[in-house]
Amino acid sequence: VTVLPTDYIIQIFYTQCKRPVYKKHQGVYNGECPVCKEGASSGKKRRLFYFPQEHYLYCFNCSRSWSEINWIKEVTNKSFTEILKETTSYSTNSNPSILDILESTEVISTEIKTYDTLPENSIDITDSQQLQYFYSTTNNKSSIDKCIEYCEQRKLLAAINRPKAFYFSSDDRIHKNRLVIPFYSENNTIESYQTRALLPDQYPKYLTKYGEKNLFGENTIDSTIPYIFIFEGPIDAMFVRNGVAMGGTSLTSKQQTFLNKCLGYEIIYVLDNDKNNKETDKIKNRLMKQNKRIFIWPKEFNKYKDINEVCCQLNMTEFPYKYIVNNSFLGIEAIAKGCLHKN
Ligand SMILES: [Zn+2]
């Protein structure tokens, strides 16, 4: 039996399950089951339990049980080897584990904390006064410098569809020392966010706020453009007009509800151009079968892995949306053209 690092499993639990909580007295984790989605009681009950001592998960709704590894395989669609590879980047030294953090604090397990707008003591790095204040009071200059440097390298501050603000927190227990990308709702309020690691030893690369995500970019949809472009991540969506991002590989029901209201727009999916990414292939296959319209990367772009890389290398602040429109196909057309198999 392979024993995976507990804090790795908890991290997956917190990113895959809606409304996760830690029940301190029982020492168990509890959330909505991402496998059965809890049916009619979705949003009301949490019936998936993770028992870390027993290395076992059980859902009282679908009555299924899993070993840790089988559950992670099922909810992430990753292979055993991929999972093991991820856990090796997991620090096992003296850094406090997420488990320790969760145990040492009660706030994290309450829903009030969960629904905070932004990570604790976030500052807007696009606001020079906040930056100045931060610099004059912190002993954590190098982390925020990394954050600003990252934004510059990725050209985020110049991107055509960037959010109004980017944030940084050096205090948040989970999201500290990461770039915070806000997900505004159509009313211009921050409803969710995703944070990105800035150092190679930070795990995971992307981490989303607990609770159900809305789409990144809901507030910047321009009604004169009859398309909405759906990306996996916000950093790519920032470079395309009417780009929105799931912050993951599938739509949450809140995101789907928003799209259902967007009448008169054609939806086009733009996935990464990552040839060696099985995860992307799986999403692409799923979308093709559902006959969704998908951007097919022309072979001139073979050397680029995503829209952000194209824009950084070609020094563009916008990837023209018409180019995406002209190179996108419905699932059946794409299959007929053999686009699916060209890698
Ligand atoms: Zn279930």
pLDDT digits (tens, 9 = 90+) for 22-48: 888 788 899 999 999 988 878 888 999
More confident residue, 312 or 211: 312
Cα 3 to middle of ligand 1, angstroms: 23
Exposed e or buried b per residue across 288-318, where buried means at least 16 C-beta atoms within 10 angstroms of its C-beta: beeebbbbbbeeeeeebbbbbbbbbeeebee
CA 37–ligand 1 middle distance (angstroms): 6
The DSSP call for residue 149 is H
78: Cβ contacts below 8 Å, ≥ 6 apart: 72, 86, 279
Q: What is the pLDDT of residue 1?
A: 46
Q: Across the beta sheet with 179-184, what order do the strands follow?
A: 123-124, 167-168, 179-184, 190-196, 206-208
The distance of Cα 78 from the centroid of its chain, to the nearest Å, equals 16
CA of residue 71 to ligand 1 center, whole Å: 11
Q: Residue 249: which pLDDT band, with cuts at 50, 70 and 90?
A: confident
Q: Are 214 and 229 in contact (CB under 8 A)?
A: no
Q: Is the pLDDT of residue 76 over 60?
A: yes
Q: How far is the CA of 74 from the centre of ligand 1 (A)?
A: 12
Residue 277 exposure: Cα atoms within 13 Å on the Cβ side: 11
CB-facing half-sphere around the CA of 225: CA atoms within 13 A: 17
pLDDT at residue 116, as a whole number:
66
Which protein residues have a CB closer than 5 Å to ligand 1 (ion)? 33, 35-36, 59, 61-62
Q: How far is the CA of 65 from the centre of ligand 1 (A)?
A: 9
Identify the residue whose tokens are 């944030």.
167
Q: State the burial class of residue 71 (Cβ atoms within 10 Å of its Cβ: 0-12, 13-18, 19+).
A: buried
- Reported as a single tens digit per residue, the pLDDT across 317-335 is 999 999 999 999 998 887 7
Rounded to the nearest angstrom, the distance between the alpha carbon of 55 and the centre of ligand 1 is 17
Q: What integer pLDDT is reported at residue 335 of this predicted model?
A: 75
Can you give the C-alpha Rg of the chain in angstroms? 20
Give whole-number Cα distances, 60 to 6, 9, 18, 41, in Å: 22, 20, 15, 12
Give residue 200's pLDDT: 83
Check whether 167 has a pLDDT greater than 90. Answer: yes
Q: How much distance in Å is there from the Cα of 59 to the middle of ligand 1?
A: 5
Residue 342: pLDDT above 80? no
Separation of CA 336 and ligand 1 centre (Å) = 37
Task: With 0.75 as the threshold, say if the pTM is over it.
Answer: no
Residue 107 has pLDDT above 90, yes or no: no
Higher pLDDT, 324 or 100: 324
Residue 32 is predicted with a pLDDT of: 94
CB-based contact 238:309 (threshold 8 Å): no
46 CA → ligand 1 middle, Å: 9
Segment 333-338 shows an average pLDDT of: 74
Q: Is the sign of the CA dihedral 29, 32, 34, 36 positive or negative?
A: positive
In the predicted structure, residue 100 carries a pLDDT above the cut 50: no
**Ligand 1 center to residue 209 CA distance, Å?**
22
**d(CA 32, ligand 1 centre) in Å:** 8
Sign of CA dihedral 74, 198, 247, 258: positive
Say if residue 69's pLDDT is above 70.
yes
Q: How far is the CA of 175 from the centre of ligand 1 (A)?
A: 28
Rounded Cα–Cα distance for residues 120 and 97 (Å): 19
Q: What is the pLDDT of residue 279?
A: 79
Alpha helices per DSSP H over 247-306: 253-261, 278-289
Q: Could you tell me the pLDDT band of residue 124, with boundaries at 50, 70 and 90? A: very high
pLDDT tier at 265 (50, 70, 90 boundaries)? Answer: very high
Average pLDDT, the chain: 86
Confidence of residue 101 (pLDDT cuts 50, 70, 90): very low
Ligand 1 centroid to residue 47 C-alpha, Å: 7
Rounded Cα–Cα distance for residues 13 and 48 (Å)? 10
Q: Which residue has the higher pLDDT, 328 or 120?
A: 328
Distance 10 CA to ligand 1 centre (A): 17
- Residue 336: per-residue pLDDT: 76
Strand 293-295 relative to strand 206-208: parallel, antiparallel, unpaired?
unpaired
Report how far ligand 1's centroid is from the alpha carbon of 36 (Å): 4
Summarize the confidence of residues 167-178 as an average pLDDT.
89
pLDDT above 80 for 99: no
Whole-number Cα distances in Å, 313 to 305, 307, 308, 324? 11, 10, 9, 18
Ligand 1 centroid from CA 167, angstroms: 35
Cα(15) to ligand 1 centroid in Å equals 16
pLDDT at 267 over 60: yes
Cis amide bond preceding 96, omega within 30: no
Q: In whole angstroms, what is the distance from residue 163 CA to residue 183 CA?
A: 8
Q: How far apart are alpha carbons 31 and 38 in whole angstroms? A: 10
Q: Which residue's structure tokens are 């981490």?
A: 207
Residue 174 alpha carbon to ligand 1 centre in Å: 26
